[in-house]
Structures are given as structure tokens and as C-alpha cells.
Amino acid sequence: MSSSGLSRRTLLTAGAVGAASAALTAAPQPAEARTYSGEMPWSPSSADAPVPVEPGPYEFFTPDEAAFIEAAVSRLIPNDDLGPGAKEAAVPHFLDRQMLGEYGRAERWYMLGPWRPGTATQGYQSRMTPAQLYRFAIKAIDDHLKQANGKVFAQLSADQQDKVLTDLEHGKIELANVSGKAFFDVLLQNTIEGFFSDPIHGGNRDMVGWKLIGFPGARYDYRPYVDKHNQKLDLPPVSIQGRPGWNPKT
């Protein structure tokens, strides 16, 4: 309370009442429209539309790394009587572009210390970015195999490659300065992502992953099918970019 007998609460209350009274008694003013030019996107979501991955040569993987990746993903999701495998679905191309992007650089991850041993339920715990993990692990695996039998991973038979991947999965291969199990876990996860992601990201070529599981894709409206439980829809998959040769206006 001040010496004049007025408190801060009284002043604030009086000010609010006065402002409200002025607003009620003031003559209404017409709203002014403003034209935005070059400040906002002209169509919904055009500012953050995904950039399609274009086919082309590898930009991150070296020839030796690309040979390893093509061989490894071919064993993780092989080409068989059910349909094309990961290599045919352009998963190596998907991985190559991911390593060049924000995922490969771990831009949205906390990558500072303290570095303590993690648990199996805590997910990725390496201080390496995914791109660094791929680069170091592939070389370490090939160096390990060359010392053992004189061949790199891509030169092994399918059965031998399966054995190496299984040993990596169960932590049975000790590598220099990198965890083989951590690399296998990331490689498997990224391979699955590439096989089932929208083709706009470079993998799932011709939507073979979606066709395999009957997924209709990125359709605009699913309301006509919400109540059709346990029914096969037989809808051709649609990516963010549509379907090859498909005109959404027809």
C-alpha cells in the first residue's frame, strides 16, 4: 500500500476498467485487408513440401561401401517368390540419401555428453552420427573379414553373409572402435524404413513394399473405407506424388 492509499492492484484494476470502457464507447473502425506478396506460401503446405529424391549415382557411399550395402540389404529383405527385395526396391539409394541428410548428420538428436553405457531399451547410444556409424562400421567389418578369410562382405556367399549378419546382431563380432551390434540394429531399421517409406524418399521403388502388404498408400481420404473391417480393399497404392501414369483429375 502506498502513502496515498492506492495499491498496485487498485491501479491495475482501474486501468483495465478504463480501457474496457474506452473500447466499448469508441466508434467501430472498418477492418483493413492486407495483401501479402512474397511473405507467405500461396498454396497450403507448399512451404514445407518434401523434395523428391531423384535417381542417380551414389553420393555418400563409396564404391566399396555401396557394394557392402547392396549385399547386406539383399540378405535382410531378399528377392524371392513374394516379390522384389530391398535392393530391387532401391533401398541402397534411400540409405545413401539419408546419410547425406539431416538424419545422417543427427541434426535433431542430442549428441553431447555425458557418455555413459546405455541399456538395451534406450535405443541408439553411439556418440557417432548415423553417417559416421555407417562409414566406420562398414570398413571395420570388411577389415575384420579380410583378416579372417581374405574376402570382404560383398564377396562372400549368401550363407556366409547371413552368418556375418547374425553374428553382428548378437554381438559376436568385435570391431575396432565401433559396435557391430549397434550398426546392425541401425542398418536393419533403416532397411525396413527404406522398403516401406513413401517412394518420394528414394526407396520402395514402384511401391513394391506397399503392394507386398496391401497398403493403399498416401490417399487423401479414407472415410469411405473406415467401416469396412476385415475386408480386402484392393486399392492400388498411391504415393505422395501419385501413381506413375495416373492423373488425379480423371
Taking the chain (250 residues) in consecutive chunks of 10 residues, what is each chunk's mean pLDDT?
49 48 52 55 60 88 98 97 95 96 91 80 86 97 95 97 97 92 96 96 94 88 86 86 55
Give the predicted TM-score (pTM) of the model.
0.76
Is residue 240 assigned to a domain? Answer: no
Count structural domains, the chain.
Answer: 1
Q: Which residue in 250, 245, 247 sits closest to 206, CA to CA?
A: 245
Return d(Cα 118, Cα 121) in angstroms, integer.
Answer: 8
Is residue 58 assigned to a domain? Answer: no
Is residue 128 assigned to a domain? Answer: yes
Q: Are 235 and 210 in contact (CB under 8 A)?
A: no
Is residue 182 assigned to a domain? Answer: yes
Is residue 185 assigned to a domain? Answer: yes
pLDDT for residue 30? 58
pLDDT for residue 124? 82
**Domain containing residue 149:** 63-109+118-213
Q: Which residue in 167, 196, 168, 162 sits closest to 86, CA to CA?
A: 196
Tell me the three state secondary structure of residue 61.
coil
DSSP state for residue 156 in the 8-state scheme: S
